Chain A
Amino acid sequence: MTMLLDIARDFTAFFQLTAFGSVTWQMAVMWVVCATLFYLGIHKKFEPLLLVPIAFGALLANLPTEGMITTRVLADGFKETGILSVQGTLLDSGAFRIDHITGGLFDFISQGIKLEIFPPLIFLGVGALTDFGPLIANPRTLMLGAAAQIGVLVTFLGANLVGFTSQQAAAVGIIGGADGPTAIFLSAKLAPEILGAVAVAAYTYMALVPLIQPPIMRALTTEKERKIRMRSLREVSRTEKLVFALLVTVTTILLVPGASPLIGMLMLGNFLRECGVTERLVKASQNEIINIVTIFLGTSVGITMAGETFLRPQTLLIISLGIVAFGFGTAGGVLAAKTMNLFSRKNPINPLIGSAGVSAVPMAARVSQVEGQKADPANFLLMHAMGPNVAGVIGTAVIAGYYIATLAK
């Protein structure tokens, strides 16, 4: 009998060592959110390469883990994550010698977001994967990439009206740029407290581009406009592509220095691709680097999604505003193409390619192709749409640079 009591006591003592007592209701709700994200990523294949690591990171954030991440609750109720504890010695020379740094695994890994390293590295890979040939062959499509940024600006206005600070409104608005790394880059810089919600909204809506864009495209165009066949694109030489990469780097950085990390790495990746003598580096950028960084970026974003921070009405607002941003961006691009046609009747643009200006490479371009073929099955718009598509990447980086230059504290 005594032995049974001892076993019961030991068993109870064991349970006191477990983490069950640390589970909160917010964590339990977030498990449902994580399950939903897993469902969207795995079953529905919504941007799985990002959504699955984000969901897993969010699960880790909502378990009473040890040695994973250090958090502290700020005065406004938000949880700050990725806190490193540094011990060292102040030397006579005034220098500080670091003796010991303590922190959990993700306190270190998530520095890639805090220090704004991961998004530019993703851009390196994107640059190495992107062919700017269609844009160089038809440079006026750069204007479609600019016009699609209207979604970002309108959403910023709306977000500010419903109570977000200017910094938070910029992070919410940039969802309309449909460019995940830029959205994360800007959020980490201006409003890290809403980074998780912004990233989830951006990647979910990017995956939903084939559902969001077509009704808007059809509503704003006539059957005749959708049937417009565009002139074949000229061949672009390798030298011209190299000059383009240098030109974009120099011009954009001089005009909007805040966009330097993104544009610089995007064009470095593209320059490596086009120069033809750095095949190993191109392969590394296109595969190993981008894949490794994607895992770390996704999980680092997910681990910011602690229930106490994520389960707020603000998150629902961000997700609602995100779709507004996508809608206005799509409309902006289509209407800009129609406006350009007023001045270029001899060489018209099919307005369906305007929607590709929201970036979301290459999904938005494929939507233009599919919608174009519905109107005229023999019309191939894909390569024409790649022009505004990659212009949108540059446009979003520029508007992000503008916000950083004007709003960073």
Chain B
Amino acid sequence: MIPLPALLAISLPEHPTFADNLQFQLTGLLVVLFTLSALAILVSLIGRIFIAAQKQRPPTSAPSPATGEAIPGPVFAAIAAAVSTALADQRFVIRGVQAVDPRQNLAWGAEGRRSIYASRKIR
């Protein structure tokens, strides 16, 4: 397979005319769009295969919502501390604790990821 830029036989002098440069940049944009479009199409196709395969699997029973009684004491204390921190100065009463289905609500997971990324300023 011939690489895309080589296939297009592109080159640019050190000081090109504006028209030549514009053509060069538009070709570059085309290369990026083509490459990432190709990836998008392939990833979509593969995604559909995986979704179809997932649907064919027998459904697993969703975990039943946990109640306050089922939660061990130390875990309940940690949840209460987290609520207290999140609500800062507000008064609150915890009336129940329920497990959240991660497929329905990704917000806290997202926040966790955000803080992990934030702790690694590598670039």
Binding site for B on A (CB under 8 A): 47-50, 122, 125-126, 129, 131, 135-137, 139-140, 142-143, 145-146, 149-150, 153-154, 156-157, 160-161, 165-167, 179-181, 206, 232-237, 239-240, 243-244, 247-248, 251-252, 254-258, 286, 290, 294, 360-362, 366, 369, 380, 382-383, 386, 391, 394-395, 398-399, 401-403, 405-407
Please list the residues of chain B having a beta carbon within 8 angstroms of any beta carbon in chain A. 1, 3-6, 10-16, 18, 21-22, 24-26, 28-29, 31-44, 46-47, 50-51, 54, 102-104, 106-107, 109-111, 113-114, 117-118, 120-123
Task: Say yes or no: B36 contacts A166, CB within 8 Å.
Answer: no
Partner of A251, one of B5, B38, B111: B38
Q: Is the CB of B25 within 8 A of A126?
A: no
Interchain CB contact under 8 A, A232 and B29: no
Known: A165-B14, A180-B123. 5 other contacts (CB 8 A): A153-B26, A255-B31, A258-B5, A386-B113, A399-B28
Residues of B within 8 A of A234 (CB): 51
Knowing A157-B22, A256-B31, A395-B32, say if A406 contacts B40 (CB, 8 Å).
Answer: no
What residue in chain A is nearest B7 (Cβ atoms)?
A255
The docked-state distance in angstroms from the alpha carbon of A84 to that of B111 is: 49
Partner of A140, one of B11, B38, B40, B110: B40
Q: Is the interface of A mostly helix, strand, loop or mixed?
A: helix
Chain A residue nearest to B15 (CB atoms) is A165
Tell me whether B120 and A247 are in contact (CB under 8 A).
no
Interface SS of B by simple majority: helix
Beyond A180-B123, A361-B123, is A160–B39 a contact (Cβ under 8 Å)?
no
Q: What residues on A are CB-neighbors of B3 within 8 Å? A: 254-258, 405
In the complex, the 6 A-B pairs of residues with the closest C-beta atoms, listed nearest first: A405-B5, A362-B117, A139-B43, A146-B36, A153-B25, A165-B14
What number of A-B contacts does a CB cutoff of 8 Å give?
A: 172
Sample 23 A-B pairs with CB under 8 A, ordered by A number. Answer: A49-B121, A49-B122, A50-B123, A129-B117, A131-B113, A142-B43, A146-B35, A149-B29, A157-B18, A165-B15, A166-B15, A180-B123, A236-B50, A247-B43, A255-B31, A255-B34, A258-B3, A362-B117, A382-B114, A383-B110, A398-B35, A402-B5, A407-B11
Q: Is the CB of B36 within 8 A of A136?
A: no
The chain B residue with its CB closest to the CB of A290 is: B122
A279 to B92, CA, bound (A): 42
CA A382 – CA B21 in complex, angstroms?
A: 37
Residue of B28, B29, B35, B50 near A403 (CB, 8 A) is B28
B122 and A294 form a contact (CB under 8 A): yes
User: Given A362-B118, A369-B114, is A181 in contact with B32 using a C-beta cutoff of 8 Å?
Assistant: no
B15 contacts A139, C-beta separation under 8 Å: no
Query: Using Cβ atoms and an 8 Å threshold, which residues of chain A touch B44?
Result: 139-140
Residues on the A chain within 8 Å of B123, using CB: 47, 50, 122, 126, 179-181, 206, 360-361
A160 — which chain B residues lie within 8 A by C-beta? 15-16, 21
CB–CB B28/A153 < 8 A? yes
Picked from A167, A235, A386, A398, the residue with its CB within 8 Å of the CB of B36 is: A398
Distance to closest chain B CB from A406 (angstroms)? 5
